[in-house]
Structure 1
Amino acid sequence: MLKTTIAASLLAALTCAPALAAETLDATPRVAVMSAFAPEWIVLQEALSERKDYTVNGTTFATGLIEGKPVVLFLTGVSMVNAAMTSQLAMDFFNLESIVFSGIAGGVNPERHIGDVIVPAQWGQYLDAILARETAEGEFTPPPFLEAPFPNFGMIFPQNVGVAREGAEPEEKFWFAVDPDLLAVAEKVAADINLEDCVEANKCLTTAPGIYVGGNGVSGAAFVDNAAFREYAFGTFEAQVLDMESAAVAHVAYANKVPFIAFRSLSDLAGGGEGENEMGTFMGLASANSAAVVTAFIAALPN
């Protein structure tokens, strides 16, 4: 009986104890510049000066200056979960003024080409979905107690996601807007940058790359190399680009009230090309183009 009482008291004490806050590793207000995987990370590190590294839960965070502005660089890792996890780590351990994602992606808008840099005005999680059952008639129908706000692709019915944040009631939403002030800076720098168009002498793009600010981007836990699904994403969401991280970071940034923007250069056409997927050929070029735009963007940020 005594053991039971002590155990109950201990459990109550633990339940009521406040969670320990993360210890800030660096108090300097910084711009977080994140990428998903190594090619993007390598290019951005070349612009970093006064570097100092920190390691949190296996992730390296490199602080320093880019274009004279205090930044912290890190890799999210590929996938929505990795992107959300590392974004929250950065917010917990560093003093972030804003978040900038630099990376590559698949092009969805048929008017855009490999090498282009896309800067969407909002992001949605298009593969947060119901996988519906098939009826006897060969159609797919979601459960009646779940909402399906978008047209389906076969059994896939995209949904809104739930969001909770301090000072607000929980809400359901699909689109997460990027910060309008950051988007305005991106619009100003877009006209003044020349992008790379050749991997090497005999491997050049057929169309000179450009920078396009605005429109929609979508993210999900899948690498897309399918022409039919690409057409669906463009028709349903008016998506310019799709990737595997940006909307997750936009979600975390929104929940933490941190300004966010993402720059995505097209390494492939998500199944819309005539031959095999082009990412293996143009990944380095796309990474360099995204990093070049992000570097110019950071330089243009107000002090």
Structure 2
Amino acid sequence: MKIGIIGALDEELIPIRALSSHLEKIERGQRTYWHGDMHGHQVYLTRCDPGKVNAVIATQQLLDFFEPDVLFNMGSSGALAPNLEVGDLVVATDAIQHDFDLIGWGMKPGEILFDVVTKPETGQLGFTSRHAFITDPKLTDLAFETARSLTLDEINGHKPAVYKGRVVSGDQFISSVEKAGQLLTTHNALAVDMEAAAIAHTCEINKVPFLCVRAMSDKADHSANVSFTDFLVAATDNYGKVFDKIIQQLGK
């Protein structure tokens, strides 16, 4: 099986690269990819950088160049649910682009349009729509059970818990408690980031199964005092453990 893996930051890919054998660096255009073997599978990794457009470009290029059978995404997210602590993992069940706004057209917050055409008989716009992009159910269940079975590195004395639920994404860094509360209320999401929904959207269009695992880098009320560097060291090690175990369990 060929597995594509995308992270927003290069640091998030380091533990996966460390677990890969026969690692090689591949340059395509302005993007760097890493190719290696893990438990009999071929893995292809790349950094997308923050933001939905960056995420879509990186995802589509990886799919076009290497044709993976599945695509995994990991990274940091902001907690929206008040019970989440720094370091907790969220395995995404679905993802919404929270900053896509056609409420004025009578759409739900985050609802996306497709196949927009003008109907010649009426002169009115016709379209289909999609609100949430669903992750692959089998991969999601496997990741959730796998992560819960592992001993994860503590962060600031907290042993990370594992949750399963919705994430939302947008081209915004959410830094206010009020905005986080609005996203929680509007979308009933556990966490917010800047890439996952765009990657999920791209994978669905290409009919490639998608898995997303996110670690919380801050609490919804911003009360936790953990440096991002300390968080990233432990979180990326936890990503490595989870993805290594998942890949061991995948069929050839």
SS of alignment partner, residue 120 of structure 1 = strand
Letter in 2 for 1:63: H
Aligned to 1:258: 208
SS of alignment partner, residue 162 of structure 1 = strand
SS of alignment partner, residue 159 of structure 2 = coil
Aligned to 1:6: none
SS of alignment partner, residue 255 of structure 1 = helix
1:209 aligns with 2:160: yes
Shift of 1:187: 3.1
Q: Which has the larger radius of gyration?
A: 1
Checking the alignment, whether the CA contact within 8 Å between 1:117 and 1:209 is kept in structure 2 is yes
Letter in 1 for 2:4: A
Structure 2 segments unaligned to the other structure (5+ residues): 116-125
Out of 289, 292, 296, the residue aligned to residue 238 of structure 2 is: 289
Distance in 1 between the 2:32 and 2:209 partners? 22
Checking the alignment, whether the CA contact within 8 Å between 2:70 and 2:210 is kept in structure 1 is yes
Query: Per the alignment, do residues 170 and 291 of structure 1 end up closer, same or farther by CA in structure 2, a change over 3 Å counting?
Result: farther
Aligned to 1:108: 80
Aligned to 1:67: 39
Query: Per the alignment, do residues 30 and 163 of structure 1 end up closer, same or farther by CA in structure 2, a change over 3 Å counting?
Result: farther
Identical aligned residues as a percent: 26
State the number of aligned residues. 242
Distance in 2 between the 1:223 and 1:295 partners? 30
Relative to the length of structure 2, the TM-score reads: 0.88
Structure 1 segments unaligned to the other structure (5+ residues): 1-28, 131-141, 150-157, 199-203
Letter in 2 for 1:95: E
Checking the alignment, whether the CA contact within 8 Å between 1:106 and 1:269 is kept in structure 2 is yes
Query: Per the alignment, do residues 101 and 275 of structure 1 end up closer, same or farther by CA in structure 2, a change over 3 Å counting?
Result: closer
Runs of 4+ off more than 4 Å: 275-278
SS of alignment partner, residue 71 of structure 1 = strand
Out of 176, 189, 194, the residue aligned to residue 239 of structure 1 is: 189
Out of 142, 151, 171, the residue aligned to residue 194 of structure 1 is: 151
Shift of 1:52: 2.3
Q: Deviations over 1:198-244 (max 9, x none)?
A: 4xxxxx23x321222x3211011011111111111111111111110
Aligned to 2:135: 178
| CA RMSD in angstroms, aligned pairs only | 2.0
Q: Deviations over 1:151-200 (max 9, x none)?
A: xxxxxxx3411246xxxx963112000011211221331332111114xx
SS of alignment partner, residue 70 of structure 1 = strand
Relative to the length of structure 1, the TM-score reads: 0.74
Letter in 1 for 2:195: E
Aligned to 1:147: 106
Distance in 2 between the 1:171 and 1:279 partners? 41
